[in-house]
Every structure is written in C-alpha cells, then in structure tokens.
Structure 1
C-alpha cells in the first residue's frame, strides 16, 4: 500500500513562506501555499542577502544561481548628508571574514525563483486563510480558507474550504493572524518610531559607490543593482500613520532633496507612484515559543525586527531550512531559532537607536565615534555581524552544497 506524504499548509506567499514550502517539498512533504494577495507581486523593491541567507538558499539548490543574478554590493560605506565619508566598507574584507559576499537583488527575482521550486498547483493566490485548530499529537491542524471566485462569477462570491495538515506554517507577516491565534495573550507588533520609503528605478549612466547616509533622525541608502537599476531607501522618525500632504516623492524631496549626490538624481528619476511607504513595526516582546501543537511561525510572524541590520528576510530564509530540518520535532525548531532571532532582533533595535538618533549633540558624537573607528579599518565594523553572517544551516547529510565546500 502506498504511503501518502505528510501534508503541510503554508499561510503566506512571501519570501519566508515560499522558502519554507520549497524546503518541505524537497523533503517529501505535500505542500500547499495560501497567499491572500491576487498575485505574488512582492511589496518591497529589493533585498540584501548576506552569506547566512545565501547558504540557506544553497540548501534549496539555488544559492549559486542567486549569486549570479545578484548585484555584488562592493566597497562603500556611511556618509553624512553633505557627502563626507564617516566610514568605508570593504566587500573583500566581508567576504573573507564570513566566507561569502553580501549581494543585492530585486525581491521579485527572488520570489519568482522560490515559487519556481514548488510543484504545479501548490500555490493558491487570492486565498485568505484562518487557523481553525493548531492540532496536536492526536489530530491534524485545520485551516479554513476562503478564495475569491473566478472572474465572470457573481461579484463578491467566494468559495470556502477546510484543509487538514500535519503541519501549518504561519508566514503571514508582521501583523500575523496565525500568531494571534496561537498566542492571543501576546501584545503583537508595535511601532518602531520611524517610517520607510523604498524605490527601484532605472538610472542609466550613474556612477557612485554604494552607501548609506545618516542624518539627524533620517537615513538614506543608494545601491546599484546588476541590471542597471538603482535601489534606494529612506527612513525618518515621524508619528505612526503619517502621510505626505501631496505625494511621497514630494515628501522625500523636502526631506532629502539637498543631500549629496546621487540623492537628487535618484529623486529626479523617481515617479510619485514608484515610492513605497510603510511604517516599521517590530515585536518588542519575544514570543514564548515559535510553535504550538502542529503549527509553527517563521519570518516576521515570529520575530519582526527593524530593517537596520538588513536581516529580516535573511532570517526568514534561515527559518525555512531549519524548519524543514525539524519539521517533525517543532520544539527543536523553537529551541534552534528563538534564541538566535531574539538576539538579532534586539541588536537591530540598538542599531536603530543609533542611526535614527535625532539630537544635534548625540548625532555629532555618533559621527565622531564612527569616524574614529573607521581609522582602524573595516574589520572593527564587521565584528557586529559575527555570529550572524557566518551562520551555517543544519545539513542533515553533513555535506556542504556546491560553492561552499
């Protein structure tokens, strides 16, 4: 008699959810991904992948492909709004220290490549999922799904379905409904005190070093991609829920229009509709566990953090391959991931307090310290990523993938 594969339902079709589904499929699980959006067009312009996430992608068999697709984030550093360098970074030193580079690519590219790893029919969009029962050792977990009716049917009509699974993965983001169902007493995500803007634009002929610029309560980053586009982002301390009185490009011009090159050129090439703005929320209070019964959390649903270390998506990809490794032993997944991600999230909060500092005196001291430290070379700054970027996944076979031997 043929044994049916164990079933896994993944709620959320972002980077973490797709990576988890791909890793579970690789290990023989029958996977279904439920994404409430009508398509997989990702919110977010680009993503930075550190060596730790690239090693996790090696487990999925696409690490080298992503390295080839990505822009290699070369030498750059931190600057002041007037253009003075506070510190310089070295891609060569980072690669030597952590065994690989830091690379940058569009989120759409990564999402598309992860989705291509899934079997036909595994991904269902326009599907809103609710965790009805987390399950336990004696019964499967249950998910209630409502899906938009096909085009041409009655407006507003939906189809309802209940799915049972040996594993439910909550990868539904910072405001996770699965997290609320598993841990209703947890306070959830809180406002981190600042908002972000992101843009991905063509900027032919532009030449500049990759950089992040720290002002008073404001930051800006500009990074070239391999395909000729530029990824730019900004952040500022503002009240939660605020919006520009006209449009977000105009807001960026008011806040950053007089900053150093290439900031004005980037803003000139940006269309108002090309600016994404989102308030930053994080889990200030860690969860007691990342699992309950047969249900588990990963990515922002488990450990939403400020983007100041660039590790949010990286940790979600780590979660995915570790979850697949411990899929039949969820307490081991919690024991593996909760201490690590909690420590990284707290470090991201500390960095946010530093680079979003708004006082004139505090900013002056910060800049002076950064300038002094930069005189010792890039190694001192790289120490902040020790224990993060040099992470390696738990290969069940003990064999390293191609490119990491």
Structure 2
C-alpha cells in the first residue's frame, strides 16, 4: 500500500500532495466542498515559504504571478513611522518576500497535480491511527493519513483528542480592491485596539486587511463599520476603503491552537492549521504549512519515520504560534499609556535588531527536512 490520503484541499493539503508525489507515493486529496470559492485575500510568502515552493517545483510560477514585498514598515494612524523595514537588507540576508492572491496560489498548486488526485465533495467524519478514515463516500485505508483539514480538524481528534481553539480577542476583515490610483508601498498601521494593512497585488489590485478588538461572534457591520473605525486614518487607507465592494469584504474572528502534545500518531500526521493554527500577525501561517509539506515529503522519501516529522515541526511551529500571539497582543493594545509605551519602543528598535529577530523564522531551508535527528 503506497496511498497517502490527505484530508483537506487547501494550500497545505495541495502542497503535501506535490511533496508526496516527489517522494514516489500516490496522493489522494479529499476536499469536503465541491467547488472552492475564489477567496478575496492576499497572502504574504516569506523567503522560507518560497524555498519550499521551489522544492515543490512551483516557485517560478508563483513568482511570476506575485509582487515583491517592498514593505513600508509599521506606522501609527496618522502615518508616522513606528518601525521601518530595510527591504534591501532583508532580501540580501534571507531572500525576496512576495505577495500573491491566495486563489492564484491555490490554482498553481492544483494545476501541478495529475488528474484524479483531488477528489471534491467528500467529507471525512472520522480517522484512526491505523490509517482508516470514514468518509461520506465510504471507508478507506491508507499507508498514511495527513490531516490538513484546518483549525477545526476532524483528523486531529485521533492524534490529540478534542482540542478547543483559542480566541485571540480580535476580529479581522479582508478584501481585495482596485483603487483609482496606484499603490506601490506595503504598509501596516497600528492604532488603539485596531490595525489596518495593505499590500499591492499583480494587476493593480491591493489586498487590504483590518483588525479590531471585539467579543467572539460580535455583529458584523461590514464595510460601513470599517469606514467608521478608520475614518481619519492616513492615506491611502480612505481611498482603499472607498474603492471596496461591500459584498467582497470577508470577516473572521481570529483563533489559534494551544500547543499539541504531538503532531503524529500511528499512521497519521497533522500539517498546517490542523497542527499549529496561528494568528496572522507574522504572516507565517501558509508559510509553515508549506514547510510542513516539504518536510513530510522528505521523510516519506527516506525511512518514513513520522517521529522525525514531529521532532522537526512541532517545536519550530509552536514557537512561531506563541510569537505570533504575542505580536497580536502588542498590536491590539488599546489603553493609551500602553499604546504610547509600545509606540516609543518600536521607534527605538534598530533595523538590525528586527532582522536578527526574523532570522529564526526565515532561515529555514528544505535541506533541513532531510537531516532530522531524533
């Protein structure tokens, strides 16, 4: 038996299918929705993720549809710089970060798979350590079951039992707009309990995202609420909101996962949000899922010992989850004295210190996946 059953057809699941193919195994991806919607959001891909895409054979195609991230750093609501980013130094040290539309990355990953690998409209209802899964299309057995089914993962129950995601204390809006004037700089602005960010995409589009402190499940005021919250913020934020389509604004409360005791059990391995869902504050969610895929593929091409996957991925991703959560808490501070202290500390942070702090995330290479010691 050489079938690897991948539950979930998102970025992590599709990337894992490519990695499994390269390992000489036969992937089958089960996706519960019959037709995946075009999600109106952008995606930051840091150099570690781009190396993973190169290892999967699709890096060049992704770069061709992306825009290089020339970050303008973090500003306050009036546009005053709080923390600058030396884009040239970042690129020289780690490589070039990019931004791509999520739907375009998904299309590239799907297009790289042979016909028949992706099976849609099939929902997995249970899995166990033996490699057996129960689906709406019947039961099946596999050499390996990969749980790539997100933060509310069904497969995870067989590895870690019932795990309740943690609400981060804030909600987020996302949309893609076509502004009347070009936007070439990337930026994120922090206020009191809310943030707004924007990133150019190919074709003159701009990905916009915003956050605000709110109880879980609070009513969604949509674009009108965004207009009220960010009225008076610096350019180009008003222009971007004015260009937005109310029907294209997505809102999701932000959750992450507590640290799991393990990522593998028997013939099951967890990847992406099923294993280590994190807040979006470091832009590493999809990046870590891509690393997971490459690492698992390298192990399957070798001795297949899933303990190596757990040893390689669990400590690293759980550190990043914790770091993202801390960053989110800092960004969502709302008390005036604490915001003033935060802003003052950011202004005093040298660019060199910022690059040094990023090293542990961005230095990852696919070669590490093949040299994992237990």
TM-score (norm 1): 0.88
Give yes or no for contact 1:208–1:262 (8 Å, CA) kept in 2. no
Match of residue 72 from structure 1? 68
Point out where structure 1 has 5 or more consecutive residues left out of the alignment. Answer: 136-140, 147-159, 399-405
Point out where structure 2 has 5 or more consecutive residues left out of the alignment. Answer: none
For 1:312 and 1:207, locate their aligned partners in 2 and report how far apart those are by CA, in whole Å.
25
For 2:239 and 2:298, locate their aligned partners in 1 and report how far apart those are by CA, in whole Å.
46
Give yes or no for contact 2:192–2:335 (8 Å, CA) kept in 1. yes
Give yes or no for contact 2:159–2:263 (8 Å, CA) kept in 1. no
Match of residue 138 from structure 2? 161
Offset, 1:249: 0.4
Give yes or no for contact 1:83–1:260 (8 Å, CA) kept in 2. yes
For 1:95 and 1:8, locate their aligned partners in 2 and report how far apart those are by CA, in whole Å.
36
- Deviation by residue 1:242-300 (Cα, 9 ceiling, x = unmatched): 122xx4101101111221111111111111111000011111x3111101110110000
For 1:132 and 1:310, locate their aligned partners in 2 and report how far apart those are by CA, in whole Å.
30
Match of residue 370 from structure 1? 346
Q: C-alpha root-mean-square deviation of aligned residues, in Å?
A: 1.6
Offset, 1:131: 3.0
Pick from 290, 293, 298 the counterpart of residue 325 of structure 1: 298
Q: 1:396 to 1:291 in 2, by over 3 A?
A: closer
Give yes or no for contact 2:78–2:234 (8 Å, CA) kept in 1. yes
Pick from 108, 114, 123 the counterpart of residue 118 of structure 2: 123
For 2:307 and 2:232, locate their aligned partners in 1 and report how far apart those are by CA, in whole Å.
52
For 2:128 and 2:71, locate their aligned partners in 1 and report how far apart those are by CA, in whole Å.
50
Offset, 1:371: 1.4
- Deviates most, 381-390 or 16-25: 381-390
**2:361 alignment partner, SS class:** coil
Q: 1:393 to 1:250 in 2, by over 3 A?
A: same
Pick from 52, 55, 78 the counterpart of residue 56 of structure 1: 52
Offset, 1:349: 1.1
For 1:188 and 1:359, locate their aligned partners in 2 and report how far apart those are by CA, in whole Å.
29
Match of residue 360 from structure 1? 336
2:32 is equivalent to residue 32 of structure 1: no
For 2:62 and 2:315, locate their aligned partners in 1 and report how far apart those are by CA, in whole Å.
28
**1:326 alignment partner, SS class:** helix
Offset, 1:393: 1.1
Match of residue 270 from structure 1? 244
For 1:75 and 1:291, locate their aligned partners in 2 and report how far apart those are by CA, in whole Å.
37
Max radius of gyration: which structure?
1
Match of residue 306 from structure 1? 279
Offset, 1:207: 3.5
For 1:132 and 1:308, locate their aligned partners in 2 and report how far apart those are by CA, in whole Å.
32
For 1:326 and 1:215, locate their aligned partners in 2 and report how far apart those are by CA, in whole Å.
44
Q: 1:44 to 1:342 in 2, by over 3 A?
A: farther
- Deviates most, 70-79 or 103-112: 70-79
* More helix, by proportion: 2
**1:172 alignment partner, SS class:** coil
2:149 is equivalent to residue 143 of structure 1: no
**1:233 alignment partner, SS class:** strand
Offset, 1:27: 1.6
Offset, 1:188: 2.5
Match of residue 155 from structure 1? none
For 2:23 and 2:13, locate their aligned partners in 1 and report how far apart those are by CA, in whole Å.
15
Offset, 1:206: 2.5
Give yes or no for contact 2:272–2:289 (8 Å, CA) kept in 1. yes
Give yes or no for contact 1:40–1:111 (8 Å, CA) kept in 2. no
Match of residue 213 from structure 1? 189
Offset, 1:370: 1.2
For 2:43 and 2:184, locate their aligned partners in 1 and report how far apart those are by CA, in whole Å.
19
Offset, 1:89: 1.3
Offset, 1:208: 5.0
2:10 is equivalent to residue 7 of structure 1: no
Match of residue 228 from structure 2? 254
Pick from 80, 85, 89 the counterpart of residue 81 of structure 2: 85
2:216 is equivalent to residue 243 of structure 1: no
